[in-house]
């Protein structure tokens, strides 16, 4: 039941994890944020402070609200802090073997009644739930990026997910100020099933020389009123994440239309992952992003 949830654990202090911790703390939940390194935690906590300061400047929250929310967030590099959590949200990198390892290590620490959610953007919730000791208490809870600003959360029920679990997480999502939308447990769910093939097609358009980076992004921004061009958006998401989702779609649906563009694969192999590495379809090392092709 929602009223039983007072403390929420978040695994992963990256862009998604620190965003989830941010909104949970602002909604007056105690939060335990964990990551593999203290450096990652410090970066995550700094991002939370920076993003809350921005909300204060825009009069979205008060300075007192921000201070109180940050005080609710504790952090650590081990799983001990999850022992008294009623819900833990896994927000680690989009690799199934990493998530499997985390879930197997997490379960022995938790109380018997604790719920687990995964922020996976594409991987089977049924399969992830099978790696736990409580598939009935496991659910997909896919937040959008950036979490503090985006209103949507996709909720995905695995084949074993209990109705009580799903209902509780739906109510929690509303309490976080988000809009829950139910998605079936198919590869990439709803948003990424539609969005990532569009981005992949934009990369094919670049790869085949139909247009330059600037031409493609300008055409989509001015021609369809998208706030960001698809290549700019790919850099924002992370090219490694884009590739991982396309691989899940390609393998899970066995349709050649989901084949990742070879250029996307090359960029990831080069370590050009977008904004987080200062280089992707744009170079971000200067004051203004410059197309790399």
Q: Which of 121, 122, 124, 200 is catalytic?
A: 121
Q: Which residues pair with 116 in a beta bridge?
A: 88, 138
Q: Which of 119, 142, 200, 232 is catalytic?
A: 142
Contact predicate 27/67, CB 8 Å: no
Q: What are phi and psi of 6, to 5 degrees?
A: -120, -25
Contact predicate 64/92, CB 8 Å: no
Q: Is 121 a catalytic residue?
A: yes
Q: Which of 40, 154, 200, 232 is catalytic?
A: 154
Q: Is 192 a catalytic residue?
A: yes
User: Rounded to an integer, what distance in angstroms lies between the CA atom of residue 73 and that of residue 27?
Assistant: 12
Q: Which of 75, 122, 192, 200 is catalytic?
A: 192
Contact predicate 94/241, CB 8 Å: yes
Q: Which residues contact 247 (CB under 8 A, 6 or more apart)?
A: 260
Phi-psi category of 59—alpha, beta or left, where left has phi over 0 and alpha has psi -120 to 50?
Answer: left
State the catalytic residues.
Answer: 121, 142, 154, 192
């Amino acid at each position: 039941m929602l009223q039983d949830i007072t403390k929420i654990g978040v695994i992963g202090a990256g862009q998604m994890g620190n965003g989830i911790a941010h909104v949970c703390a602002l909604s007056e939940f105690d939060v335990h944020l964990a990551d593999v390194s203290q450096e990652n935690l410090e970066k995550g906590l700094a991002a939370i402070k920076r993003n809350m300061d921005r909300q204060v400047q825009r009069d979205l929250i008060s300075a007192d609200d921000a201070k109180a929310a940050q005080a609710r967030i504790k952090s650590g590099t081990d799983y001990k802090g999850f022992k008294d959590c009623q819900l833990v949200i896994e927000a680690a990198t989009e690799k199934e073997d990493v998530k499997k390892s985390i879930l197997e290590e997490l379960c022995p620490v938790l109380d018997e009644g604790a719920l687990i959610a995964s922020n996976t953007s594409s991987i089977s919730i049924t399969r992830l739930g099978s790696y736990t000791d409580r598939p009935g208490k496991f659910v997909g809870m896919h937040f959008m990026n950036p979490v503090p600003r985006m209103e949507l959360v996709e909720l995905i029920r695995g084949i074993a997910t209990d109705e009580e679990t799903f209902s509780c997480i739906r109510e929690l999502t509303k309490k976080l100020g988000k809009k829950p939308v139910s998605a079936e447990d198919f590869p990439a769910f709803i948003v990424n099933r539609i969005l990532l093939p569009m981005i992949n097609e934009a990369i094919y358009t670049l790869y085949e020389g139909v247009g330059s980076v600037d031409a493609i992004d300008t055409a989509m921004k001015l021609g369809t009123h998208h706030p960001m061009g698809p290549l700019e958006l790919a850099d924002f998401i992370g090219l490694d994440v884009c590739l991982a989702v396309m691989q899940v779609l390609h393998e899970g649906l066995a349709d050649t239309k989901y084949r990742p563009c070879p250029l996307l694969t090359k960029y990831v192999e080069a370590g050009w992952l977008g904004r987080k590495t200062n280089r992707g379809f744009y170079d971000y090392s200067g004051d203004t992003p410059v197309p790399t092709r």
